[in-house]
Amino acid sequence: MARVPDGLNLDNYWMPFTGNREFRSNPRFIARAEGVHFTDADGRRILDGLSGLWCCGAGHGRPEIADAIARQARELDYAPAFQMGHPLEFEAAARLVAHAPHGFSHAFFCNSGSEAADSALKIALAYHRARGEGARQRLIGRERGYHGVNFGGMSVGGIPGNRKAFGQQVAGVDHLSSTHDLEHNAFSRGEPQWGAHLADELERRIIPLHDAANIAAVIVEPFAGSAGVLLPPRGYLARLREICDRNGILLIFDEVISGFGRLGYAFAAERFGVMPDMITCAKGLTNGAVPMGAVIVREGIYETVVNAAPAESVEFPHGYTYSGHPLAAAAAIAAIGVYEREGLYERARELEPHFEGAVHALRGKPNVIDIRNLGLVAAVELAPRPGAPGVRAKEVFLKCYERNLMVRFTGETIAVSPPLVIERNEIDTLFDILGEVIADVA
């Protein structure tokens, strides 16, 4: 059992997405972080195999970001978000839009990926109403998709365990089928070859059921991260784009995980050569240092919503107390600067072949039924124990932590997504430990 810091009361904090009772019986405390390592409360250095929680792509403890936050806190700690502005939020928006694929023009700030998803859905509804097509109110997600935990994102999301405890969801939502299929795509390297036709379900089933004139938007992750690194079949996203174009439907990419270099580009849209109408982002936007999310929209969406409203009115009645928060804006500007100066996206592309080879070397380990990878993200899927789904992967997670490696588990999948600054020998260490643990757990 890990040491609980002296005098720390564990009774009052309700932990998110955590077995609270299990944690109190076997707590795991992170005390410090630097580079690609955490340090726990006992002084152990732990290799961070998940970039914090998919968010610290530039590594931990970046002085450029910390200094920017500290300077801003001394100069302007907070400014009202409504009817007032401060220079850094405009600068951050300009830097983010310049970082986005060609054709994107405006950024709407919020505080998380969950808020970004809900904001994007509301922008889609407002856009169609402004165009005189207010009947377009249906929203389409995808099975096993994750778009945060607010009611909008939870409703278009497709992870049953995140939904079933909370009753009625947002009305008018439907879901595409998941693209994950081990029969056809097990042990794929990069984009699976089979499954582009699954996009046709939008036109074959969902549009005839609801009528295209009633559908506002389709929201998907370029790859589904939280559900276990589920990769898009080659050509799938392009077909979704074509179908949405034919039917006047907006396409939203949730890039909260895939953005800021995870696939070797600022956004996955560039890697796949498919431009959505909106991109949601968070996590890497500030390198995890301060909560911040954003919706980036293609040219014309902002103008349509704003110009349709009466003069001097609030054109889009939506926002948050901390939208464009000064400290978050400072962190975003600094983080984007780090990505650019250090060429971290290009670095991810250079490391990808070595990363791919290292993870696929685990093929043949006991109970490994799939390995999949793209960019600097990978998943190892395990066969469940009879009558005990999810237990094997959780045990791997816990034993990796005991051996100074942080990974993530979801269902029977171990997900790995290290900081973009990781070295090749550290990639080797990561997968050596993971392979040993998988064998031990068997």
Domain shared by 249 and 361, yes or no:
no
Position 14 in a domain: no
Domain shared by 234 and 323, yes or no:
yes
Domain shared by 150 and 251, yes or no:
yes
pLDDT tens digit sequence for 287-320: 999 999 999 999 999 999 999 999 889 999 999 9
274 contacts 266 by C-beta, under 8 angstroms: no
Report the pLDDT averaged over residues 84-99.
97
Which residues contact residue 332 at a Cβ distance below 8 angstroms, ignoring those fewer than 6 apart? 92, 95, 96, 285, 286, 292
| Residue 1 pLDDT greater than 80, yes or no | no
Domain harbouring 432, CATH code: 3.90.1150.10
Collapsing DSSP to helix, strand or coil, 135 comes out as coil
Domain shared by 312 and 411, yes or no:
no
Residue that finishes a domain, picked among 342, 377, 392 = 342
pTM: 0.97
Position 8 in a domain: no
**DSSP state string for 38-92:** EEETTS-EEEESSHHHHT-TT-B--HHHHHHHHHHHHH-S---SSS---HHHHHH
Residue that finishes a domain, picked among 290, 310, 342 = 342
Domain harbouring 319, CATH code: 3.40.640.10
Domain shared by 56 and 142, yes or no:
no
Domain shared by 34 and 89, yes or no:
no
Position 7 in a domain: no
Could you give the number of structural domains in the chain? Answer: 2
Strand partners, 189: 373
Domain shared by 326 and 223, yes or no:
yes
- CA torsion 318-322-326-331 (nearest 10°) is -100
Which residues contact residue 26 at a Cβ distance below 8 angstroms, ignoring those fewer than 6 apart? 1, 2, 398
pLDDT tens digit sequence for 347-396: 999 999 999 999 999 999 999 999 999 999 999 999 999 999 889 999 99
**DSSP state string for 185-221:** HTT-BSS-SS-GGGGGHIIIIIHHHH-GGGEEEEEE-
The parent domain of residue 215 ranges over 65-342
For residue 70, the one-letter residue type is A
Domain shared by 331 and 388, yes or no:
no
pLDDT recorded at residue 4: 86
Domain shared by 151 and 294, yes or no:
yes
Domain shared by 143 and 230, yes or no:
yes
Domain shared by 366 and 314, yes or no:
no
Residue that finishes a domain, picked among 342, 358, 385 = 342
pLDDT tens digit sequence for 37-53: 999 999 999 999 999 99
pLDDT recorded at residue 2: 66
Position 48 in a domain: yes
Domain shared by 151 and 260, yes or no:
yes
